[in-house]
Structure 1
Amino acid sequence: MELRSLKAFVTAAKRLNFSEAAKEMCVTQSTFSQTIKQLEEELGTVLFYRTSHKVSLTKAGEELLPFAVTTIDSADNCSRRMNDLRELKCGSLNIGVTHSFNMVMHETLKDYMKLYPDIFLNIVYKPMTELINRMMNHELDFVLSFRPKDNYPLIESHLLFEDVLSVIVRRDSPLAKHGKVSLADLVDYPAVLPAKGLQARNVLDRILSETNTQLNVRAEMDEVTPLLRLVRNTGLYTVLSSSATEDVDDMVAIPINHDGCHMEGCVQTLKGVYKNMASKEFIRILCETSLVKKRITDWLR
């Protein structure tokens, strides 16, 4: 049963005149009559009594009318909702974010929520592996993280900016005077590290294993904000991506001098999955943030 046929039926039921109904639908009367006849044949019943003077609904026509009206209204609502989604007037967006991307999110969320107040945002902060698994289960639209070292055949990584694993210290720390630091420079200083499973920790553990280096680790934390607070309050150092200190005036990021410390901030998406307009617009705004633009510019220089 075609929607066009139901619309013709409802128009005829309203007008009770095939000629006027045909004009309203901008078709010839013969075409309109044929459409009604085909609908009656499909349903196996007569919907209209026809005489030379008037048209009226049969009992079957009266029964069909409210269902036809509801069906047409539902189709129109569906069309309007799809248009609203395209224009970002409704809907939701599920975003996975690793803790290292916390600084990037502040500016993006503020601008996005101001531009699109009717889009509901569900932001999930978890380790990258958990976020990737949730995205592969279609629980998340995309993930913001550093490029994974492991191979995920179903995932595409879209580069946002370049970064480097760095030592994060207060400006009054003895380490702060270095332009770069080696792992050997760190062994005599106490550290508070991101928890195992977080991306910065994964990179650090790999290069520690490669160089057979052991650090003086006093504590581990699984969230960046309290980790930086502890560094500020105690004078310990931590190891994160250099972007972790954006907009933090009393701390500095000192790159670790090792080939394996290069990091790439990426948008992770599922291969072959349609990217909705809400996602595309969020990523566009993300790319316009001062942090991302600064790092793209620095990389291109």
Structure 2
Amino acid sequence: MELRQLRYYVTAARTLNFSQAAQQLAISQSTLSQQIQQLEAELGVQLFRRNSHSVLLTEEGRELLSSAVDALSAAQACKERLADIKGLSVGTLNIGVTYSFSPILTETVITFMKKYPRIKLNVFYKTMEELMTMLVARDVDFVLAFKPLATRDGIDSHVLFDTHLSAIVRPGHPLADCDSVSLADLQRYELALPSCGLQARNAFDSLISGRALDYKVRIELNEVNILLKLVKNTDIVTVLSEATVYGDNQVRALRIMDQGNNMTGCIHTLRNSYRKRSAVEFLKLLSESNAVLERRNSWING
């Protein structure tokens, strides 16, 4: 049994689509099928039931999946430990980031790439839910995101900085000279909101829950850059964390004055999991960046 075969099997088991799995693995579908057949022959069991319409795991296939994932994770951990011994001269660091965290990350990415030119960075921008799934599957080494409304088993959330939900407007907007706004104030303006499921939207929905407020929502988007482009070119208002517009002089962030308005930027890791030296170094650089320097947390040095 080869690790390559286990990797092929796990990818096929997760997608239940041999064509899609082959694309993800950058191999031909015939190669994937051949390797799966060889694995089945060695194990003496059938792992998949395939017909012209669907692919399903057999009972044996379902039973093998968790063990195969653990084996691949253990093998990857061995590679990472050996890479660490080489003093950050080689290796890969996989980072999950929510869309609204991007401005906080940029400075550190540039610094890390200059300092460690032979460490490859893979940065995945996705929703919180998608990133937590990737973290559990060990597809990313850590996730940068705001603290979720509900805790998750097996995941530790380390506080990096505190921020707050803000109304975002262009400098010439009627609200631009204000330092803060109320939830009631926002009823007078057209809104462009982040899509449901994005963290700023979750925080906003939680804030207004149970209140008799009537907002004029013109558009919902899951792309923060487009939201900000709308704000910069119209009198529309969006709602994001103050940290999301860090360093952007073309917009103004007005604090929404309401209890429960705080948002906490966190680094999310798997509990009791091995932490790569490259991850530790990246997080140190992040904590020393201008965006979060004043809110540095000592746990990162551990």
Distance 2:157 2:188 in 1: 37
Residues 222-301 of structure 1 aligned to structure 2 (within 5 Å): 222-294=222-294
Tell me which residue corresponds to 1:215.
215
CA offsets 1:96-116 (integer angstroms, 9 cap, x no match): 000111101110110000011
8 Å CA contact 1:159–1:266 kept in 2: the answer is: yes
Give, as a single letter, the amino acid of the residue that structure 2 aligns with 1:113: M
1:162–1:296 CA contact under 8 A, matched in 2: no
1:186: Cα distance to partner? Answer: 0.5
* DSSP 3-state at the match of 1:104: helix
Query: Quick one: distance in 2 between partners of 1:126 and 1:79?
Result: 26
Relative to structure 1, the CA distance from residue 258 to residue 90 in structure 2 (aligned partners, 3 Å threshold; closer, same or farther) is same
Cα distance in 2 for partners of 1:224, 1:111 equals 24
CA distance in 1, matches of 2:214, 2:221: 18
Question: Does the CA contact (< 8 Å) of 2:288 and 2:296 recur in 1?
Answer: no
Tell me, in whole angstroms, the C-alpha distance in 2 between the residues paired with 1:280 and 1:79: 17
Deviation of the 1:207 alpha carbon? 1.4
| Correspondences of 1:9-48 after superposition (within 5 Å) | none
What is the rounded CA distance, in whole Å, between the counterparts of 1:296 and 1:194 in structure 2?
28
C-alpha RMSD over aligned residues: 2.0
Deviation at 1:81, TM superposition (A): 8.1
CA contact (8 A) 1:94 1:121 kept: yes
Alignment of 1:103-114 (within 5 A): 103-114=103-114
Deviations 1:175-203 (A, max 9, x none): 12222211100001001111111000001
Deviation of the 1:285 alpha carbon: 0.7
Do residues 178 (structure 1) and 178 (structure 2) align?
Answer: yes
Contact 1:91 1:118 in 2 (8 A): yes
Question: How far is 1:79 from its partner?
Answer: 9.9
User: So what's the TM-score if we normalise by structure 2?
Assistant: 0.69
Deviation at 1:83, TM superposition (A): 5.7
- Alignment check: 8 A CA contact 2:83 2:91 kept: no
Unaligned runs of 5+ in 2: 1-77, 298-302
Moved more, 208-217 or 230-239: 208-217
Find the counterpart in structure 2 of residue 89 from structure 1.
89
Structure-2 separation of matches of 1:121 and 1:253: 31
Q: Does 1:140 align with 2:147?
A: no
Q: Distance in 1 between matches of 2:81 and 2:163?
A: 40
- Which has the greater radius of gyration? 1
Aligned to 2:192: 192
Partners in 2 of 1:167 and 1:237 — Cα distance? 7
Q: Conserved in 2, the CA contact under 8 Å of 1:86 and 1:277?
A: no
DSSP-derived class of the 2:210 partner: helix
Give the corresponding residue for 1:169: 169
Structure with the higher helix share, 1 or 2: 1
Deviation at 1:294, TM superposition (A): 4.4
C-alpha distance in structure 2 between counterparts of 1:198 and 1:179, whole Å: 25
> CA 1:211–1:85 in 2, change beyond 3 Å: closer, same or farther?
farther
- How far did residue 259 of structure 1 move? 1.0
TM-score (norm 1): 0.69
Question: Per the alignment, do residues 106 and 153 of structure 1 end up closer, same or farther by CA in structure 2, a change over 3 Å counting?
Answer: same
Structure 1 vs Structure 2: percent identity of aligned residues?
Answer: 42
Gaps of 5+ in 1: 1-77
- Contact 1:91–1:120 at 8 Å: present in 2 too? yes
Distance in 2, matches of 1:80 and 1:293, equals 29
Q: d(CA) in 2 for partners of 1:212 and 1:274?
A: 48
How big is the shift at 1:235? Answer: 2.1
How much has 1:262 moved relative to structure 2?
0.5
Q: Is the 8 A contact 1:94 1:142 kept in 2?
A: yes
Q: For 1:44-123, list aligned pairs within 5 A.
A: 82=82, 85-123=85-123
Q: What's the CA shift for 1:245?
A: 1.9
